Chains A and B, each alone.
Chain A
Amino acid sequence: MNLLSIHNLSQSFDGKAILDDLSLDFREGHIHAVIGPNGAGKSTLANTIMGLHGYTNHGGDIIFDGASLQGVPVEERARRGITLAWQEPARFEGLSVLRFVGAGSKRKDPTHIKGILELLGMEGDRYLHRSVDRTLSGGERKRIELASILAMEPRLILMDEPDSGIDVEALEHIFTALRRLKEQGATVIMITHSRTVLEQADHAFLMCNGRLRDKGPVAQIGRYFIDRCLPCAHINEPVEEEAKA
């Protein structure tokens, strides 16, 4: 069963098409990867599904759990169970980890929040009262972002470049969180151009130049990406025949 279906989605900025007649289906309870080179439109896809400001004026439709998201504001999408883990999460001066993670959580008690942090390899006592500001490293901030996602118990998580700016150890904890989300029955869409991240997925889509280039098992899509996309002289500017293929 599909939790999310994208129908003929188009999105353009300053007259340039970033998403071009894109149609995709995402099965419930699966981890999906959307892979492609820089500029392929992957983050725009995530932001459009989330309905962030500036991304709502698109062509086509997005169906979540059987209902169109046309005109549904971002906070209402979140309440229906969609959320986004940002590639470079915002910093909040003075706001404690406890307050930030608890903000969207169904349970706000410190013991619960602490347990989530510990799942991500962060000592609760050390982090609960720290500020979500510039004093956190990129990896710490990214894990706290994921902690706030886990606390929400969402149905659909959009993860934009989960591995960017973090070390190998932090990445392992992020993969642990991914498995936890899957156990909870959540559907995950990971935006990536990393093979390591791709390998965590059950299914993959390959995007290029705002269009769907291919879809299928992770191994097949990964091989195609490495063999064909990375060396491609027309990266993000595919020749007409390739784009139509």
Chain B
Amino acid sequence: MTTSDLVSALLESIGMTDPHGLSDNTARIEVHENRVVGIKLVPGLKVEAEEGDDGVAAVISVEAGKRLEKPVHICFGVLPEDGKQHIDLDIRIEENAYASFLAHCTFPNAVDVLHTMTAAIEVEPGAHYAYFERHVHGQHGGIVVAPEARVIVHENAEFTTEFELIKGRAGKIKFDYETICHDRSVVEMTARINGRADDTIEIHERARLIGEEARAALISHIALRDEARADIFNDIIALGDRARGHVDCKEIVLDRAVAKAIPMVEVRNPTAHITHEAAIGSVDSKQLQTLLSRGLTEDEATDLIIEGLLSKKARWTNE
């Protein structure tokens, strides 16, 4: 398959039938397996990507003071049934820069696919970095997704990330994100995942609020059916003066699925404040009966309640 065909196939798998549907001034990075198959830059964005036997290493930076008006479109994927992909990212959003990334990770035919990522991310003072990651998986469940990220968010900077996997099988997901939050920084990490069959989901998210008035919210909304399992570990440690944090874990568990949530909140400064809420169980009886009284079947009502849970885009840190 030619490079151009691969780009088309990757984009088609995420529902973009026209590979040129993105406008000319939209930056793009496309990686298939461990090959960079497409790249387009815009002023202010630098990308240096290197292909190796073990994966793709990319250094991405946004110049100080630059504001990327359009989200950078990223597409990582493995189209065959088998394959491995490793992405090693070094991302730096320089001082007072503003950038958002829309990433599609597509493994539509995966039977035995491994996707791993290691990322070192630095959001410099006053910068803003938003990363929205939507996964497109097939129905086999033969996919392992294991991203790891170490993030430093400097003073007055903002880092938000949202991971979404709603359609297709989750397979095995294990992510591990850690953020260090300096003075007046804002961090929000959200995961919305639908698991079924024997999918397993393991989330480790940590925020260390070392700066004064640093804020963080860790949000996990998970729906599980069949034999699926989720283990959610959300930790916030507050050290800075007047630091604020919130952990929100909501999981709907159906059939023989198992959910475990372990929020860990630690406050080492008397002026700091952290809250957490966890709700795990079947669908809420009052919600269910309300929808039944509108004529929906139990399955239709349950699906609608789950749709709501997974579509929620929480913005605790802005409240």
**Chain B, residue nearest A84 (CB):** B293
Task: Give chain A interface residues in 70-92, CB to chain B under 8 Å.
Answer: 73-75, 77-79, 82-84, 86, 89-90, 92
Classify the interface of chain A: helix, strand, loop or mixed: mixed
Q: How far is the CB of B165 from chain A (nearest CB, A)?
A: 16
Cα distance A79–B309 in the bound complex, in angstroms: 26
Cα distance A30–B104 in the bound complex, in angstroms: 56
Residues 218-234 of chain B, each 1 if its beta carbon lies under 8 Å from chain A, else 0 = 00010000000000000
Q: Does B4 sit within 8 A of A, measured CB to CB?
A: no
A-B contact count (CB 8 A): 71
Among B53-61, B129-137, B296-304, the one that faces the other chain is B296-304
Asked whether B308 lies within 8 Å of A131 as measured between CB atoms, the reply is: yes
Asked whether A103 lies within 8 Å of B304 as measured between CB atoms, the reply is: yes
Number of interface residues of B (CB under 8 A): 25
Cα distance A79–B295 in the bound complex, in angstroms: 5
Cα distance A82–B295 in the bound complex, in angstroms: 9
Cα distance A78–B292 in the bound complex, in angstroms: 7
- A residues within 8 A CB of B24? none
Cα distance A97–B34 in the bound complex, in angstroms: 44
Task: Give chain B interface residues in 266-319, CB to chain A under 8 Å.
Answer: 284-287, 289-298, 304-305, 307-313
Number of interface residues of A (CB under 8 A): 27
Contact (A94, B310) CB under 8 Å given A53-B289, A74-B289 = yes
Cα distance A95–B298 in the bound complex, in angstroms: 17
Asked whether A103 lies within 8 Å of B291 as measured between CB atoms, the reply is: yes
Give the contacting residue for B294; candidates A95, A104, A132; CB below 8 A: A104
- A residues within 8 A CB of B308? 92-95, 99, 131-132
Asked whether B304 lies within 8 Å of A104 as measured between CB atoms, the reply is: no
Most buried by B among A79, A83, A103, A132: A103
Asked whether A94 lies within 8 Å of B296 as measured between CB atoms, the reply is: no
Listed from nearest, the 9 A-B pairs whose CB atoms lie closest are A104-B294, A95-B308, A94-B312, A94-B308, A78-B295, A90-B286, A74-B292, A75-B292, A94-B311
Query: Interface on A for B, CB 8 Å cutoff?
Result: 50, 52-53, 73-75, 77-79, 82-84, 86, 89-90, 92-96, 99, 103-104, 131-132, 148, 152
Query: Interface on B for A, CB 8 Å cutoff?
Result: 221, 250, 284-287, 289-298, 304-305, 307-313
